[in-house]
Amino acid sequence: MIKIAMCQLLIEGGEPIRNFNRAKEFIIEASKKKANLIIFPECSDFGWTHPSYKKAKTIPGKYSFYFQELAKKNKIDICIGLTEKLNNNFFNSAIYINKKGLILSHYRKINLLNEEANAYYEPGSKLEVFDSEFAKIGISICADNYSKSSIISHLLSRMGADIIISPSSWTVNADNNDQNPYNQKWSSTMKEVTAIYNNTFIAVTSIGYIVGGPVEGRKMIGCSLAYKNGKQLIELNNNEVSSELKIINITVNKNKIKKCGTELSNNISINI
Amino acid sequence: MSKNKICPICISDYTFPNFIIKKNICNYCIIYNEINKLFPISQKNKKEALIIKKRNKNSKYDVIVGISGGRDSTYLMYYAKKILKLRVLAIHFNDGFSNPVAGENMSRVTKTLKVDFKIYTSDWKLSKDIKISFLKACVPDIETGTDIGIASALYAACYNYNVKDILIGQSFRTEGISPLLWNFLDGKYVETIQKKFGNVDFPDFNPSKICFNLTPIKIAYYALIKGIKVHHPFYYIKYNKPEISKFIIKKLKWKPLGAHYYDDLYQPLMFDWYKRKFNIDRRKFNYSALIRDKQLSRNDALKKIKKNYIKNNEELLNLSLKRLGISRVFYEKLINNKIKNTFMNFKTSYDILRKIKFLIKFLCRINIIPPITYYKYFKL
């Protein structure tokens, strides 16, 4: 049994220190509650597509060190989305840090939205799964899970991921007060993939108002999701003003892939 | 007027508009005494709650309570639900400057009290542009757009949920009355400033949505056609701020925000703007109210006024500027230019309101509009 803390963090655009201070409190809380892993949203430093992204650090670098120290100190694995600077390029990245403070995986988002691809980030160039202490894990980020981009999660699953973790920043219009705000935009891939591969898919999104950049004025309202074996495990609260931490218990399926080889492709409904 | 003039009872002074001392009492204390007699501590809230229940018997909720995550609105929610036994819908207006700690308070307390909670989110581009327009207009009351936005969100919620009563967590006893020239609330004023200095247009009026140009005609629609009333329960109860804080910390796990009004991250910028551009310290009318209500000694108030208002003021001021997308240099130019306007320099509803001031007095008395409006608009 793995205890995973889903932290849909309130992210203030352009305010990495304030965002990190909040994240730190949740890391401590999750650790006290004996969670093995805590997951944070996409771009937990500057906020997704905030114009201040050029202040991003390298990975490894100042910001990843901050979380590496916290992981070590609090004896908890951390997966967090960070903006990454590499020479003159920027990436929408996520890292997985183990409880010893080592970065086990570093992923760069591939399916960038037009808004971010045109002016902000470069696409990533690799997919990987890796062994954490308790499961084989793959990372995808937010729009990587669009139904037309679900090939990414299919590939991670075929590469053996027991758990797919997806730091995200799902947004809606400011006047969206729907009970079902995303209308299966995110859940369809999670449901489909976990049904085929009998694995777990956890997407943690952010909270707050987007106060700059190409999608300025949209809001992030949580409703983070976890799926297992094609069924929804949990949906966190719809909220736009405060963070939420929820701990879920996951059992990793053994022999999870029932089929193998090209037979699996028959179940993939993606249309590229 | 002498720059040494300060009321011997409160700490109102020469910086207040139309400030006069006669027979060792200032005109602000005199107005307070008048209002205090009009709204004595009483059991009125419980009687009013019965009427409110009847008026809303066919709706899911009895009242709309505006909340910010600060002390006053948090206690109001508790008071409405637990003491008055009303079915409460809590409404928060989000314009992108909510303090995250206040956000946590709202989520936690509504959950604890089992109160339904809805957020009305402003059009960020418009609300941001209105804030910038007010800075460019060089008037003191740069938060008018937000204040009108809050009022309109509460009216819109009433319209959407078919509720006829709004509770507001303010009291003249503990907050005082800000002089009209420092804080003029009028949708027409917002409209004029935005048309002159802004770049984003207002949407057409839709009573179910936030409206920043909430003119008296539009308020009349909500108040007279829809029959929505505004109540101030704190006018009728003893409200001791430190005791209330202790109570809600213990009972509701409320977290203090660090300073009064600090539910809004824009406050440090406002404080700086008032202080440096207009030599206005808004704490003076807050502390004066607490002195009159015997919650603060005059000596302590004079000591407090010399201290900083909010920790990390500079950091939060810069946060606001960054969020508005304006530079510090631009802001300092506005602070240091010689233009010092008030609402009187712009087209507003004030002239019309003056012509119907006795109607306003009547509407105040029957809670159609906030009861101290008449005093604020026509007596100070």
| Per-residue pLDDT reduced to its tens digit, A8-38 | 999 999 999 999 999 999 999 999 999 999 9
Q: Is the pLDDT of residue A269 over 70?
A: no
Report in angstroms the alpha-carbon separations of B53 from B49, B104, B378.
6, 30, 33
Banded model confidence at residue A272, pLDDT cuts 50, 70, 90:
very low
Q: Which residues pair with A204 in a beta bridge?
A: A167
Give me chain A's average pLDDT, please.
Answer: 93
SS3 A131: strand
Let me know the angle formed at the C-alpha of B358 by B353 and B359, rounded to the nearest 5 degrees. Answer: 75
What was the pLDDT predicted at B364? 83
Q: Is the pLDDT of residue A51 over 90?
A: yes
A251 CB burial (10 A radius; 0-12, 13-18, 19+): exposed
**Chain centre distance of CA A66:** 18
B102 in Cβ contact with B257 (< 8 Å): yes
Distance between A57 CA and the closest CA of chain B, angstroms: 20
B268 in Cβ contact with B205 (< 8 Å): no
Structure token digits, residue B289: 């109210």
DSSP secondary structure letter of residue B6: B
- A176: closest chain B residue by CA: B121
Structure token digits, residue A182: 């995303």
| H or E element that contains A27 | helix A16-32
For residue A16, give the nearest of A62, A59, A75 by alpha carbon. A62
Task: Note whether A12 contacts B: Cβ–Cβ < 8 A.
Answer: yes
Banded model confidence at residue A100, pLDDT cuts 50, 70, 90:
very high
Among the four given CATH numbers 3.60.110.10, 2.70.150.10, 3.20.20.140, 3.90.1150.10, the one describing domain A2-265: 3.60.110.10
More confident residue, A253 or A73: A73
Interface of A with B in 30-49 (CB under 8 A): none
SS3 B37: helix
Taking 70 as the pLDDT cut, the residues of chain B under it are 1-4, 259-261, 309-312
Cis-peptide, bond into residue B242, ω within 30° of zero: no
Interface of B with A in 46-85 (CB under 8 A): 69
SS3 B116: strand
The ipTM value here is 0.89
For residue B228, give the nearest of B156, B276, B295 by alpha carbon. B156
Distance between B282 CA and the closest CA of chain A, angstroms: 27
pTM given for the model: 0.92
Residues A147-163 pLDDT 10s: 889 999 999 999 999 99
- Tell me if A241 and B103 make a contact (CB, 8 A cut-off): yes
- Tell me if B121 and A52 make a contact (CB, 8 A cut-off): no
Q: How many other CB atoms are found less than 10 A from the CB of residue B333? A: 10
A151 in Cβ contact with A268 (< 8 Å): yes
Structure token digits, residue B23: 């027979």
- Tell me if A241 and B121 make a contact (CB, 8 A cut-off): no
Residues B95-138 pLDDT 10s: 999 999 999 999 999 999 999 999 999 999 999 999 999 999 99
The ranges assigned to domains in chain A are 2-265
Let me know the angle formed at the C-alpha of B344 by B339 and B348, rounded to the nearest 5 degrees. Answer: 125
Integer-rounded Cα radius of gyration of chain A: 17
> How many CA within 13 A on the CB side of residue A208?
32
